[in-house]
A and B are shown apart, each in its own frame.
Chain A
């Protein structure tokens, strides 16, 4: 039976493999943190990490993800502690309705893994694929900057 590696767990997949990864995550596996926004690969609400890189799960067929390491927002918490970027989103109140938040955080993590200390310009450029309809962008950028500082502090 085909298997997926989701948040470090091996999951057997008994479904039509041509479905979108997002639909499998939400409807079958109850991982509803990834959101269905536009469904057309425009808004970024469905962002997950595939082999550590941010990707839109609404335009990723399940079959294309077989054998790859998938991380969703549910996979970020480690032994009861949120990821520093999740903490930073809460502390800076970087959300209003919250629908874009998990996608924003997954894109942000992809960015911080590539560049742990991104200048503001780089944050703006690398977060271009995620849309916030509430317009909370300034706080989202602030949250990313805060998380970058927190990660740096934690490494000292």
Chain B
């Protein structure tokens, strides 16, 4: 199909983009990788009258560590994250996630920041970033502000971003020693959204007791879900087989899936249970220095 007509802007500076958004009002949409927005426009699920393409803005394509966090700029593609040695060695949960997003053609174009800004509970990075306690940096005519990922997802395809704000950067706290993470996703076929996905990030103390736990769930609620009850349960416990089993049952109970073409709510809840147990085991192995 052919999208409805739209007016297209390609600003060459961030402040120019921000003032364009202010000028054009809430109907303007930002184009970065375009791997969700353009198919939606072609299917006429979205018909924004104005497109603000940020791809020509310099200095937004960086993956670097500074002041205790990993910084991911607005124009970093999934394929950039996939081959980043920094991400591969220090942020295994992120590396896991980016590898299972859609397919290579999509990953070559799609941006990590767009994966969050789209606000789709079926996307994979939201759960990951919830588990990692990331911070979102947004820029607007009023300047920059930081948004905790906990407050970022406000509804189906809705985020805390104001219409004149651009998601400029994601900051992921650098995990302390003895940390490990894993992302597991079940998909019906290549390129499909997750039937369910589980992101786990844990930190152990020297005795193997859980110091910190982050758990995010993909596509089992109308917003990306932070499994706070599982996190609370894990903290302060030695992570033995019994704790893993119990945590996975809490995660299943905490998920809020719906029946759809990918399966019944019961099936998806059970899937969350199984994936949580597997992801936890892998995260613990990695925290202990394993692969």
Contact = CB atoms under 8 A, between A and B. Distances in A.
A98 B5 CA distance: 33
A70 B53 CA distance: 19
Contacts of B35: 41, 59
B229 interface: no
A129 B191 CA distance: 7
B34 A60 contact: yes
B261 interface: no
Nearest to B77: A53
Nearest to B190: A128
Contact of A47 (B10, B79, B105, B191): B105
A63 B105 contact: no
B31 A110 contact: no
A37 B260 CA distance: 27
Interface string B86-127: 000000000000010011111011000000000000000000
Contact of A53 (B5, B79, B103, B191): B79
B201 to A, nearest CB: 24
B105 A64 contact: no
Interface residues of A, number: 27
Contact of B109 (A39, A55, A63, A130): A55
Contacts of B31: 64
Interface string A11-30: 00000011000000000000
A56 interface: yes
B105 A18 contact: no
Contacts of A53: 79, 108-109
Q: Is the interface of A mostly helix, strand, loop or mixed?
A: mixed
Interface string A109-129: 011001000000000011111
Given A41-B35, A128-B191, A129-B103, A55 B42 contact: no
A153 interface: no
Contacts of A114: 83
B109 A18 contact: no
Contact of A110 (B38, B55, B104): B104
A33 interface: no
A59 B8 contact: no
Contacts of B43: 40
B39 A18 contact: no
Contacts of A47: 105
Interface string A53-68: 1111001110110000
A128 B108 contact: no
B234 to A, nearest CB: 32
A67 to B, nearest CB: 8
B106 A41 contact: yes
B158 to A, nearest CB: 23
Interface string B51-63: 0010100000000
Which 3 interchain pairs have the tightest Cβ spacing? A129-B103, A129-B105, A128-B103
Interface of B: 1, 3, 5-6, 8, 10, 31, 34-35, 38-39, 42-43, 53, 55, 79, 83, 99, 102-106, 108-109, 190-191
12 contacts: A41-B42, A42-B191, A44-B105, A54-B108, A55-B109, A60-B34, A63-B8, A64-B55, A107-B104, A111-B104, A128-B103, A129-B190
